[in-house]
A = this chain, B = another copy of it.
C-alpha cells in the first residue's frame, strides 16, 4: 500500500487557496498510485490561525472547506488538518476523507502552550483515539504534540495495539538543529509500537515562524528511512507491506537524505521566512538601508536570494560621520549583488532639523538625541520610499543589538520585517562568509567583514564604546535570554560580573523597543517575540542575585 506525505506551504486564513493546493497535490499523488495521503496539521487554515479561531464563521468555513475537499478528491484516502467546533468547543482536528466524504475526525489531545504556542487559548483537548483500517492495515491517527510524550501515547494507544503504522501530521516550527529532536521523536514513536511511523510537517513562513518541512518515514525499529526536502514543498512517498506479521516501509523516489549543517539551516530558514513574509503580504519588492556595515550587507544578501536581485533596492544615506570607506563598501556590495543602489545624503535634512529644534529649550546638537535623530531621518526616508514604491522595508538589526536595545526606535528599527533579528552578531559574521562561499565569490566585501563594528552616529564611534565585545556579549545573552539564567548563575559560570550586570540591565530596560519592532524569523530555541513575553513595566532586579 502506498502512502504520500504532502508537505506544502499553507497560508494562514486562505481556506480556498490551501484547499486548492491540496487538490493539486492530490492529483499528483493519485497519478503516482498513492492510496493514503497526509497533509500537515491545520493545513486547511494554515498555522497558527490565532484569534481567527474565535470566529464562529471561520470554523464553519473550515468544515465546509474540508467537506468540499473530500468531494473533490474521492480516489485517495486523505488525512487533512483543520479546525472544527463540536458542541460549542473548538478542536484541532485531523479529518479522514474517503470516497468523497469526511468519514472520521480525530481531535488532538496534547495541546502545546509554551514558547510560541498558545493552543490552550483556543482548543479543548480531544479524549478519544482514532484507528483507521485501510487495505488490511490498521493506522493510528495522531497530531503533532501527541507523539512528543511517548509515555502518554503508549497509555493512550495501549488497548489499540497491535498497530501497523502511526500517522502524524504536524506544524512544527523551525529552530536550529531541532530536526535532530524530531527524528528522535518519530523514531521513538515507531520503536514504541514496533511499527513504522510517518510524520507530515508544514513548510513555509508565517510571520515570525518558519516551518521547515522535512517530513519523514521511520521503520519499525525507529530508523528514519526517508525524509522530504527541507524548506520547500515536497511529496514524499513510501510503500508499506506486511511481512511475517510485521509492517515494513519502503521509500519510493525519496530524495537522498542530506544533512544540513547549522549555517545551511539558518540561511535557508532566513531566506524562506523573508520570501514568504514579503510575498504572502502582497509585496514583491523590498528596500533596505545599506550602510557599509556587515548587518545590512548580510540582510541584502538574504533578500536577494529571497526575492531576486531585481526586487531589492538599497539606499545608502550617508552623513558627515560616515567615513568614505563605508560608503564605497556599500556601493561595492550592491554591485556584487546586482541590486539597484541609490544615495541620499542626510546632511541637509539633519541641519534643518537641528535648526528647528533650536527653538526647544535645552537642545543639544551633540548628544544622544542628536545621534538618534540621524537614525530616525534614515528610517523616515526608507518608510517614505516604501510608501512611494510599495516596497517593504527590511530592517537590519541582529539579535545582539535587539537584546540590548542598541538601536533607535523608529530609526533603524523602522520597517516591515527584521530579517536577522534572531541571529547573534557572532553568527552574522559566519553568515557573511557562508554567503561568499556558496556564491563562490566575494559578495560581501572583505573590507566590510573586517571593519570594526560602528554605528557611525558620531565621529570615531565604535560599538565597543557602549557594549562588551560581541563574543562576550553573545555568551551572556545566550545564558540570560535563551536559558533564563540569573546573573549569579552566569557569574558563577565564569562570566565577568560587571559586564553581566550591565548587559542584563540593558536587556530589561529595552523591552519597550522590542515591543514596537517588526517581526523577524525565529531561528533559535528562544526568539524575541511571542516566544518570550516579558512585561515592559518590570522592576525585577535580576542583578540582586549577584550579591
Contacts and interface: CB of A to CB of B under 8 A. Distances in A.
A53 to B, nearest CB: 10
A438 interface: no
A451 B113 CA distance: 49
Contacts of A86: none
24 contacts: A12-B537, A13-B535, A50-B533, A51-B533, A52-B540, A55-B486, A56-B486, A57-B488, A113-B113, A114-B121, A118-B121, A315-B360, A342-B359, A344-B356, A345-B356, A348-B356, A349-B353, A357-B388, A373-B380, A380-B380, A380-B410, A512-B518, A515-B518, A516-B516
A14 interface: yes
Interface of A: 11-15, 17, 45, 48-52, 54-58, 113-114, 118, 120-121, 205-207, 276-277, 280-281, 315, 342-346, 348-349, 352-353, 355-357, 359-360, 362-364, 367-370, 372-373, 376-377, 379-381, 383-385, 387-389, 409-410, 414, 416, 484, 486, 488-489, 512, 515-519, 532-542, 545
A206 B13 CA distance: 33
A48 B379 contact: no
Contacts of A205: 537
B344 A486 contact: no
B380 A52 contact: no
Nearest to A376: B380
Contacts of A346: 356
A502 B388 CA distance: 23
B118 A11 contact: no
A518 B512 CA distance: 8
A488 B57 CA distance: 10
A90 to B, nearest CB: 11
A149 B355 CA distance: 63
Given A55-B486, A57-B545, A120-B121, 8 more contacts: A58-B540, A118-B118, A206-B537, A349-B353, A364-B388, A380-B410, A410-B410, A516-B517
Given A49-B535, A56-B484, A388-B363, A372 B383 contact: yes
A373 B534 CA distance: 33
Contacts of A11: 537, 539
Contacts of A532: 51
B534 A51 contact: yes
A518 B516 contact: yes
Complex A-B, nearest 3 residue pairs according to Cβ-Cβ distance, in ascending order = A13-B540, A369-B387, A14-B539
A340 to B, nearest CB: 9
A476 to B, nearest CB: 15
A478 to B, nearest CB: 15
Given A360-B342, A383-B376, A536 B207 contact: yes
B383 A357 contact: no
Contacts of A388: 357, 360, 362-364, 367, 369
Contacts of A489: 57
B410 A384 contact: no
A94 B356 CA distance: 56
**Which residue among A11, A345, A373, A537 has the maximum number of chain B CB atoms within 10 Å of its CB?**
A537
Given A13-B535, A534-B52, A538-B12, A357 B379 contact: no
A541 B535 CA distance: 33
Contacts of A372: 383-384, 387
Nearest to A538: B13
A349 B356 contact: yes
B534 A50 contact: yes
A537 B353 CA distance: 36
Q: Pick the most buried of A13, A359, A384: most chain B CB atoms within 10 A of its CB.
A: A384
Nearest to A315: B360
A238 to B, nearest CB: 32
A486 to B, nearest CB: 4
A118 B533 contact: yes
B535 A206 contact: yes
Nearest to A12: B535
